[in-house]
Structure 1
Amino acid sequence: MAARCAQTTHGHPTGYYAAGALAAIVAYLTRGESVEGATLRALRLLGRHPGHEETSAALNQALDLAAAGDPTPEKVERLGAGWVAEEALAIGVYAALVTHRVEDALLLSVNHSGDSDSTGSICGNILGARYGDGALPHEWLEQVEGRAVIAALADDLAAECLRD
């Protein structure tokens, strides 16, 4: 469904498949998968669709870089700048995979010379689905404008999803 919706704004398969892959990763995470497991399952799902190759290659590169050890800004730059969908997805996934703390993942995902708000948003969606807002530093949460409204909406959404 996410890939179909993204077709309204992304005419190229890589753009809408990246959106679909992120939605699949988030869905798998909410069912208890690890970030790596969710990414691998999303890759299997992508493989069923013609034109998936660029998105799949970017995700595989993120998995390979994460397996190669400690995070570095240079490794982030190898994934691209995030100005196109598959690069932004790869950077967000890489940051979520390679770090051990939520704060480190978020900082890694935004501290590069590219489209850092997109890559940070993708990483934040992944980490939020995996760990919830309880994993964020309290001093970060205190600064979020409209936090009470956001929390209420998130709780309502979670409750609605549990009914399914």
Structure 2
Amino acid sequence: MSTVTLKGNPVTTSGVLPKTGTDAPNFKLVATDLSSRSLNDYIGLRVVLNIFPSIDTGTCAQSVRTFNEKASQLDNTKVLCISKDLPFALARFCGAEGLENVESLSDFRDGNFGKSYGLTFVDGPLEGLHSRCVVVLNEDAEVIYTEQVSEITEEPNYEAVINTLS
């Protein structure tokens, strides 16, 4: 388990992020068109997993906007924005914002993504949602970077992610 904070108050996650140098756990998530996506759909691409509690919060929304902007500058790279929000909410947000360089995926059906990546909150007011994390994978789905943001209300380190992919 890991501990992060929400406005200074400790919150515990279900485990720890996958370690750098290991194979990323496979997943099955729901796209905004309600189709299923798995890690295998992205083999051969570098993948940024931008994981957050809910698109309907300012910090989460900003992370999607920022990665959308930065993703357009990265070769052979796909940014997946992952939360437990319903696919309809993710589609509404990205459509209203005109965001086309990221792909939104939902873990609402069974929560197995959050469990296998060790980032589901197990206590606190956001219990059951995902911790704010970034996991970067190479073309072979090996973990090459991880960050679990220590204070949920803060944004991830975008520059470290971009530097990992440069």
Q: TM-score, normalised by structure 2?
A: 0.29
Structure number with bigger Rg: 1
Return the structure number with greater strand share: 2
